[in-house]
Amino acid sequence: MITVLVTGGMGFIGSNFIRFVLNLNQEYDIINIDKLTYAGNPENLKDIAEKYPNNYKFYKIDICDFEPVDEIINKNNINYIVNFAAESHVDRSINNPSLFCDTNISGTINLLNSAKKNKVKKYLQISTDEVYGSLNFNDAPFDENHQLAPNSPYSASKASADLLVRAYYKSFNLPVNITRCSNNYGPYQFPEKLIPLMINNALNNRKLPVYGKGINVRDWIHVKDHCKAILMVLLEGEIGEIYNIGGDSEVANIDLVKDLLKILNKPESLITFVKDRPGHDLRYAINHEKITKDLSWKPKIKLDNGLKMTVKWYLDNKVWLTNIMTKEYLTYYETQYKNR
């Protein structure tokens, strides 16, 4: 058996990864630790816990607490660590940078120290294309050698974590990989993110807030394609290497929102332009030639089909969406957008 510790596994990408791995191969045991913040939802894996009781365990643990983290890694003879645990919303990082430093930097140090102490086979850091900063419209996409130039407290905290992972590889020979992915979308994504936010608002005939003029461009990847890439890097990635994971689907935010409205058969009059986000990066684009060449991975789900699949999932899971729209989130949402 291969035993994998997944941190932040109740979140969007983490829960999709656990689901993907266990449905793919039951020779894996997965230990999931999550602090269960507002974005960590046990409902994301309720069916998995019931389906694989012998292959899946969950512990409510904060990665900032070293002793319980280290105990879990030690007593379960963890082979691999995949670190998804992170505060990840840019707007929230602007409001509270310290929280992002605590989880994304200090939490990562704890995981690295325990991985080193317990001699894990590999530590995989799940990062983001945002560590590279912003591109102009005519710039070449980010490759793995692009300089780090983060522009928000969130991306700065993730870049800091990446550098720590690299340092543990160089200083302590800790076997590591880092993956940097473009914008994910798909099932179980918390509705503060762009795509589920637009879907949920449109379903409820609420205004769809679009920053600035909506010209900012993002590269989108379906979470299932991302999960496949993560598993390839975990099992086959060359130690010490960084791998960019892109979706080959660049689109301006305003065009993406219009596409979603078309799928939902809702009017474009729901769109409202709001004051731009501070330090809003103009464009992200990922060059994934390295992982394609080295590991034979490339994205399979085209954006138009992926959006239709995602909309259908939210339509089929309205109870999940309603349950996650907590008072805490609604209060935050109103505070963020009512004056913009």
* Residue 130: both structure tokens together: 């945002």
- CA–CA distance, 237 with 223 (Å, rounded to integer): 19
Q: Is residue 121 part of a domain?
A: yes
Q: Which long-range contacts (CB under 8 A, 24 or more apart) does 22-25 make?
A: 22/48, 22/51, 22/52, 22/55, 22/56, 24/231
Q: Is the dihedral of CA 67, 234, 134, 162 positive or negative?
A: positive
Residue 291 belongs to some domain of the structure: yes
Q: Give how far Cα 255 sits from Cα of 216, 250, 271, Å.
A: 10, 10, 11
Sheet holding 242-245, edge to edge: 56-60, 28-34, 2-7, 80-83, 122-128, 176-181, 242-245
Residue 16 inside a domain? The answer is yes
The radius of gyration of the chain from alpha carbons, rounded to an integer in Å, stands at: 19
Cα–Cα distance for residue pair 259/254, rounded to 1 Å: 9
Q: Is residue 179 part of a domain?
A: yes
For the chain, what is the domain count? Answer: 1
Segments forming the whole domain that contains residue 82? 2-188+221-247+283-303
Write down the pLDDT at residue 175.
Answer: 98
Lowest pLDDT segment from 67-71, 75-79, 97-101, 186-190: 97-101
87, 130, 192, 250: the catalytic one is 130
Of 66-80, 224-238, 314-328, which gets the smallest average pLDDT? 314-328
**Average pLDDT over all residues of the chain:** 93
- Residue 163 within any structural domain of the chain: yes
Query: What pLDDT score was predicted for residue 326?
Result: 65
Q: What is the helix (H) or strand (E) element at residue 4, kind and residue range?
A: strand 2-7
pLDDT beyond 80 at 216: yes
Catalytic residue among 28, 154, 168, 188: 154
Q: For residue 333, is pLDDT > 70?
A: no
Per-residue pLDDT at 159 exceeds 80: yes
Specify the CATH number for the domain of residue 36. 3.40.50.720
Residue position matching structure tokens 């339509």: 315
> How far lies 236's CA from each of 4, 77, 122, 230, 247, in Å?
15, 20, 11, 10, 20
Model confidence band, residue 90 (pLDDT cutoffs 50, 70, 90) = confident
DSSP 214-280: S--EEEEEEHHHHHHHHHHHHHHPPTT-EEEE--S-EEEHHHHHHHHHHHHT--GGGEEEEPPPTT-
pLDDT for residue 39 = 80
Q: What pLDDT was estimated at residue 325?
A: 72
Q: Which two tokens stand for residue 322?
A: 């309603």
- Is 168 a catalytic site residue? no
Residue 110 falls inside a structural domain: yes
Q: Domain for residue 101, yes or no?
A: yes
Look up 28 and say whether it is catalytic: no
Q: Is the pLDDT at 50 greater than 90, yes or no?
A: yes
Q: Look at residue 191 and give its three-state secondary structure.
A: coil
Q: What is the pLDDT of residue 338?
A: 46
Kindly tell me if the per-residue pLDDT of 20 is higher than 50: yes
Active site residue 314: no
**pLDDT reported for residue 296:** 98
Q: Quick one: how far is CA 43 from the chain centroid? A: 18
Which residue in 142, 56, 160, 58 sits closest to 106, CA to CA?
160
Mean pLDDT of all residues in 95-99: 81
Q: What tokens were used for 108? A: 């990562």
Q: What is the pLDDT of residue 128?
A: 96
Say if 330 falls within a structural domain: no
